Amino acid sequence: MTKFTMAALLASAVSAGANAQIPAPPDGEMLSPEYTGKVYSPYAERDFPSNVYFGDTHLHTNMSVDAGAFGNRLGLDEAYKFARGEQVTSTNAGPVRLSRPLDFLVVADHSDQMGFFPDLVAGAPNILANPTGKDWYERVKAGDGVAVALEIIGMASQDKFPPELTYKPESAPYKSAWEKTVAAAERYNQPDVFTAFIGYEWTSLVRGNNLHRVVVYRDGGDKGGQMVPYTMTAPWGSPNPRDLWKWLANYEQKTGGQVLAIAHNGNLSNGIMFPISEQYDGKALDVEYVTQRAKWEPLYEATQIKGDGETHPFLSPNDEFANYETWDIGNLDVSEVKTDAMLSGEYAREALKRGLELEARLGTNPYKFGMIGSTDSHTSLATAQENNFWGKHSGAEPSPTRMTHPFMANENGAIMGWQMVASGLAAVWAKENTREALFDAMERKEVYATTGSRMAVRFFGGWDFSDKDLNNREPAFAGYDKGVAMGGDLPANTAGRKAPSFMVFALRDPIGGNLDRIQIIKGWYDGQKQHEKVYDVAWSGERKPGADGKVPAVGNTVDAKTASWTNTIGASELGSVWTDPDFDPKQRAFYYARVLEIPTPRWSTYDAFRFGVPIPDGAPVSTQERAYTSPIWYTPK
């Protein structure tokens, strides 16, 4: 599938000749100490993950009520076939296919009203028996689906859905929908070729503000099918994350299975995704909250179609790359206007800093998460590539007008169609492409987010890395031997160094843009305040940092008229060993890497070129695809 073959830089498995022995050294030539007494082939008997797999952990089909309401007529089969690399026909825009198959997929249809819309379109007897249901059915058949969609979504978000049409979790229609979901995952799961996880999205809305979580099972249908999903609707569910965590614990206790939750991108949560003192309901954060969140939510969705969630210019004014595809107008049906004060409860970097403070106060860091990206597409099509972007929902599939129509509007303003983001992907370092191996990697946070590019990134932290470790062309051996990978905690300082060192390296997407730079972002807590700093640690070309310490821009080769670019700037690979110059052993800290590509055309530029329409005012002509690794944490003794 899409497993990278980068034996040289990333110590990954080579597809052809992976078991071949390298030639023996000439007589009298001694092996280096790193090889003495070990298996001679560097590709055999590894005890660390050597493959990176790319997938989507957040895709909706027509089984989700909002996806179906906005026109999606593609179901579970089409979603899996498309993710595996097969061509399918989209709802509105014709044939579509990925440039490369994905390695794994989580179909994460909404827990509430799962399966309702396919039944509505089919005219199921239980729906036609209700006057409102019959009216919706007739209007959808007559082509009035958008108006019906708005009614359905409005009722659902305000908890005013007709009781007779509510798909209760214990009802036969709901159970049937879940059985179909589980059966499809079982049908398309093919170990070592393509992994189909069982999953769903717990659909918590608090005053219209998004607290969703994607629930992912390590298990097959024998366990995953035993309990229907947890919903937000009383009396069968709750919008409170504390109650979801109880349900997850109950699932594992009852079935003997394993499950985790991924917090939804929080930039539309109106500040309630990452609380620092109390939950949205006024209940103070306590030991139970921080320990349970840390246990059940090892990952965060840092980027997706509804905006990038790494950081925001208001939160990171000294970061010249902070203003990247952010959405900050508030969520659906808000009862309060979005304010700057809310932003600190929505973005990943700020959450990581808050976690350090909460750990100092309550003993556990609830926001000690790894970072991934996913699409949150509601089209059944997992598209995150700029030149092959099929939009958020079926009404936003490629067309000459999709960029100029409002995508979403509320009291804070409007998000236009061109502001959808072609993002993102989850990258997982694992030994093999199976549910068990990928899930275990997610649990240990050996993952990273990309905005759609399939660049390969490694990030290690320790106390004794040197340029020699990086330059031997197989640095993963030293990375695991002398330190920890992304998602881990710095080991004890047995080397006696004054500061930790970090080894980071990246290889460009084979069909993407060259690399601009690698940065390491540090956050720390001094006992009174939270801090952050961005360090350029590797960059392409002969650029030199200015008086402000910042590396100049890499340049831009994008030609908007032809929606093209050239890889005449940037580098195919970058790497560095960097030691923290501002380290204080008394302060809690985290470090993560951000890798930037050179500018390439944005999806809206491709649309303008293909449809012969203008690029909308305000739409960027180019974008710099990027990756965010999971952090590595330092905790004082």
List own/partner pairs for 29-36 with CB under 8 A and 24 or more apart: 34/472, 34/477
What's the mean pLDDT in 583-598? 98
The residue-averaged pLDDT of 170-178 equals 95
Instruction: State how far the Cα of 420 lies from the Cα of 380, in Å rounded to an integer.
Output: 16
Does the pLDDT value for residue 115 go beyond 80?
Answer: yes
How far apart CA 458 and CA 476 sit, in angstroms, is 8
Pair type for strands 88-89 and 51-59 = unpaired
pTM of the model: 0.93
Predicted pLDDT of residue 40: 65
Instruction: Using DSSP, state whether 359 is helix, strand or coil.
Output: helix
Hey, is 138 helix, strand or coil? helix
In this model, does residue 430 exceed pLDDT 50?
yes
Q: Can you state the percent helix, strand and coil of the chain, rounding each to 5?
A: 25, 25, 50
Report the DSSP pairing between strands 104-107 and 213-217: unpaired
622 has which bridge partners?
A: 601
Cα 571 to Cα 516: distance, rounded to the nearest angstrom: 7
Q: Tell which wins on pLDDT, 418 or 5.
A: 418
Average pLDDT over residues 204-232: 93
Helix axes 172-188, 76-83, angle to 10 degrees: 20
Residue 342 has pLDDT above 90, yes or no: yes
Give 480-514 pLDDT, tens digit per residue. Answer: 999 999 999 999 998 889 999 999 999 999 999 99
Residues, the chain: 637
CA angle 269, 113, 157 (to 5 degrees): 35
Mean pLDDT of the 583-609 span: 98
d(CA 216, CA 381): 19
Among candidate residues 366, 363, 236, the one with its CA nearest the CA of residue 296: 366
Long-range contacts of 144-149, Cβ-Cβ distance < 8 Å, separation of 24 or more: 145/69, 145/70, 145/71, 146/70, 146/71, 146/395, 148/69, 149/66, 149/69, 149/70, 149/71
CB neighbours (10 Å) of residue 200?
27
pLDDT at residue 163 tops 70: yes
